[in-house]
Copies of this chain bind each other. A is one copy, B any other.
Amino acid sequence: MRSAGIREVARLSGVSIATVSRVFNDAASVRPDTQQRVLEQAAALGYEPSSLGRNLVRGRSELLGLIVPNVSFPLYGQMIGGIEDVLGHRGMSMLLASSHDDAVSELTAAQKVLRHAVDGGVVINTQSDVALPAPRGMNWVHISPEHSGLPYRVELDNAAGGRLAAREFLRLGRRHLAYIGAPGRESSERQHGFAGELSRAGLDYRRAQGDYSELSGTQAADDLLEKSSVLDAVFVAGDLMAAGVLRALHMRGLRVPGEVAVIGFDDAALASLLYPRLTSIRQPAYAMGAAAAELSLRLIGGHSAESVVFSPELVRRESTGPP
């Protein structure tokens, strides 16, 4: 399949063979204009270094497997962006497979990427409480796994996020609070932090349960509002559910934040597009993806590596303010 050799690419680009090799193996060490010249010349000549033979010799595929519940969920897209940028700087590529939030599909996805002899792997939101299959020397890094017993994890301090939301409502003088949660460990931890902070202030709060969907947010808010008219602040476990809560409040003619303040969770792109723009607890998804890739690269390099816990931040927008 090769129609030109590295020698010819080097000659026509006016650089050494070593430089051409670096463009394809360690691009960050070559000046961008030189890179571009070499890549264009290589493209014109139909040259591409074959990785297959090389990998058999080096015993490395230069591939990272990535298993993600659903690529079209924006938060995961940001995580993938962070992973990809770190890999790109090391000349590695990413093999992507979806788990569709299902343990059997996740196992199939893992087997699928393992067939390509990936050097390492990252799993976003694993559903499984057991380790995925891995050949000796290969490790999976988990972003936000449902179970905390897995060895290499990149996680958010969800309880700290709950505390941030509670403190913000207290600071704003809100006293009639509610939490709208969803199934799973993350929501429980968010609630735990929220409840702890309120309890220190001697306050109770009401609870409703959704499933992270917009509709479930509307229904949970309707339930809360039907049971009592006294509600001036709602903390919601996800931004999409919070969109549903805002809709329930609009429909009843309740002003946000005048009558009811709302805080979401994740700070997905959506949050700043809602009306009013949603105050949210930010999950630094891009940085978490980058950290997972770094952790994976350390393991691939045979170094020791530690799990990482990220701290969330409160991002204030229009859905919170004084009563």
A interface, CB within 8 angstroms of B: 1-3, 24, 27, 32, 35-36, 39-40, 42-44, 46, 48-53, 55-56, 61-63, 66, 70-74, 77-78, 80-81, 84, 88, 91, 93-98, 104, 107-108, 110-117, 132-138, 214, 240, 243, 246-247, 250, 269-270, 272-275
Contact = CB atoms under 8 A, between A and B. Distances in A.
B43 A133 contact: yes
18 contacts: A35-B108, A39-B104, A39-B107, A40-B107, A43-B110, A52-B117, A53-B56, A71-B84, A72-B74, A72-B269, A77-B77, A80-B96, A81-B98, A88-B112, A91-B112, A93-B96, A93-B97, A275-B275
A136 B46 contact: yes
Contacts of A42: 111, 133
Given A97-B93, A135-B46, A275-B250, A117 B77 contact: no
A285 to B, nearest CB: 9
B81 A93 contact: no
Contacts of A50: 115, 117
Given A35-B108, A81-B72, A108-B39, A48 B135 contact: yes
A72 B269 CA distance: 9
B52 A56 contact: yes
A132 B243 CA distance: 42
Contacts of A108: 27, 35, 39
Nearest to A47: B133
Contacts of A46: 133-136
A201 B44 CA distance: 50
Contact of A273 (B32, B62, B133, B214): B214
Contact of A111 (B32, B39, B250, B273): B39
A112 B250 CA distance: 49
B133 A48 contact: yes
